[in-house]
């Protein structure tokens, strides 16, 4: 399905090139700026996002160089990943009855929660951010497929932890997690991110990148709590998921409060448009 669809967003080549540069010990701000400038729309979004307190002090930024200097080499991958994700989820998904801003809020909430969990374990923070932001990209794939069908259904979420998977399985025989992983693989994303997205509904099945999958599955709980108010408060992730994600029940409340504050700041400042 992924290879056949013609109306998917273009491959986020800037993100891949940026990953290569940042991984080099000799990376420079000038090199990064030249890569981001290749896509003017993305560059403009990076500049705007760099002005938020999420990434800096909220002071004016007018150029790519200034934006990158503000967040530093360690933060630029996170910033550009945010901008790429905002570009990808810029349209509503009729099949799921989700508007663009709701999609973006879900992605942001999951990314913030995943990165916070990564800080508590030995999971790479950039990988956790990317997996969180891209965890719902399979919804876009299925929605694009549905738009070409004469009688496509409206898919309804069953709530955390399975989300839309039961309805997708009934209609298509696979889930948005599998579709999202297939798209990220086609785009050349890192294997650990692909694996976490594929196993986000059943992280215990992930053999190679189990811990990142556990982090993503647990982060989706916080996303559901913050972004799906019509649902009942979701049941807590299994104790095993929490343990392998680095969360102790005793400090769960403090962790959740920190995530909520960061999420509210991000939603207030990093809006689409």
- Dihedral sign, CA of 50, 216, 181, 207? positive
What is the full per-residue pLDDT of the chain (273 aa) written as tens digits? 998 887 777 667 777 777 778 778 888 888 888 888 877 777 787 888 788 766 766 667 888 888 888 887 767 777 777 777 877 777 899 999 999 888 988 998 999 999 999 988 889 888 898 899 999 999 999 999 999 898 889 999 999 999 999 999 999 999 999 999 999 998 888 899 999 999 999 999 999 999 999 999 999 999 999 887 666 778 889 889 999 999 887 788 888 898 988 888 777 666 655
Which of 88, 105, 132 lies at the terminal end of a domain, its last residue? 88
Q: What is the pLDDT of residue 7?
A: 74
Shared domain check, 48 and 137: no
Shared domain check, 171 and 78: no
Please tell me whether residue 98 adopts helix, strand or coil conformation. strand
Shared domain check, 14 and 138: no
- Dihedral sign, CA of 222, 223, 224, 227? positive
**Of 214, 222, 215, which Cα lies nearest the Cα of 261?**
222
Shared domain check, 241 and 110: yes
Shared domain check, 116 and 27: no
Tokens of 252: 């769960």
Shared domain check, 197 and 102: yes
Q: Are the C-beta atoms of residues 175 and 161 closer than 8 Å to each other?
A: no
Which of 60, 88, 116 lies at the terminal end of a domain, its last residue? 88
DSSP of 159-198: -TTTTTHHHHHHHHSS-HHHHHHHHHHHHT--HHHHHHHH
Shared domain check, 106 and 68: no
Q: What is the pLDDT of residue 11?
A: 66
Q: How many residues does the chain have?
A: 273
Which of 26, 58, 88 lies at the terminal end of a domain, its last residue? 88
Q: What is the pLDDT of residue 269?
A: 63
Q: What is the pLDDT of residue 80?
A: 77
Shared domain check, 185 and 104: yes
190 alpha-carbon distance from chain centroid: 14
Shared domain check, 97 and 34: no
**Of 187, 188, 166, which Cα lies nearest the Cα of 177?**
166
Number of structural domains the chain divides into: 2
**Of 125, 90, 102, 86, which Cα lies nearest the Cα of 216?**
125
Q: What is the pLDDT of residue 220?
A: 96
Please tell me whether residue 205 adopts helix, strand or coil conformation. helix
Give the residue numbers spanning the domain of 24: 1-88
d(CA 215, CA 219): 6
User: How far lies 92's CA from each of 11, 51, 87, 171, 191, in Å?
Assistant: 19, 26, 12, 20, 28
d(CA 114, CA 82): 14
pTM check: above 0.75? yes
User: How far lies 100's CA from each of 94, 148, 204, in Å?
Assistant: 10, 20, 31
Please tell me whether residue 102 adopts helix, strand or coil conformation. helix
Residue 64, phi then psi, degrees to nearest 5: -60, -40
Shared domain check, 119 and 243: yes
Shared domain check, 158 and 35: no
Tokens of 259: 């995530």
Shared domain check, 132 and 198: yes
Place of tokens 């709590």: 225
Q: What is the pLDDT of residue 249?
A: 78
CATH number at residue 116: 1.10.3210.10
Q: What is the pLDDT of residue 57?
A: 61
């Amino acid at each position: 399905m992924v290879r056949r669809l013609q109306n998917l967003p273009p491959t986020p080549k800037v993100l891949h090139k940026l990953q290569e540069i940042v991984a080099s010990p000799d990376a420079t701000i000038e090199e990064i700026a030249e890569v981001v400038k290749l896509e003017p729309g993305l560059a403009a979004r990076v500049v705007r996002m760099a002005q938020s307190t999420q990434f800096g002090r909220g002071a004016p930024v007018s150029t790519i160089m200034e934006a990158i200097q503000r967040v530093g080499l360690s933060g630029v991958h996170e910033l550009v990943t945010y901008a790429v994700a905002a570009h990808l989820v810029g349209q509503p998904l009729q099949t799921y009855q989700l508007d663009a801003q709701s999609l973006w809020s879900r992605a942001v909430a999951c990314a913030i929660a995943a990165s916070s969990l990564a800080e508590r374990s030995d999971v790479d923070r950039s990988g956790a951010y990317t997996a969180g932001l891209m965890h719902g990209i399979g919804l876009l794939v299925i929605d694009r497929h549905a738009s070409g069908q004469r009688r496509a259904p409206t898919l309804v979420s069953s709530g955390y932890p399975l989300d839309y998977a039961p309805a997708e399985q009934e209609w298509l025989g696979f889930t948005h997690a599998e579709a999202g992983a297939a798209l990220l693989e086609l785009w050349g994303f890192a294997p650990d991110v692909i694996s976490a997205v594929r196993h986000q509904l059943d992280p215990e099945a992930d053999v190679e990148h189990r811990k990142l999958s556990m982090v993503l599955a647990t982060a989706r709980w916080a996303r559901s709590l913050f972004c799906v108010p019509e649902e009942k408060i979701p049941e807590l992730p299994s104790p095993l998921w929490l343990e392998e994600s680095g969360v102790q029940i005793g400090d769960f409340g403090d962790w959740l409060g920190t995530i909520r504050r960061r999420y509210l700041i991000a939603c207030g400042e990093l809006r689409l448009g």
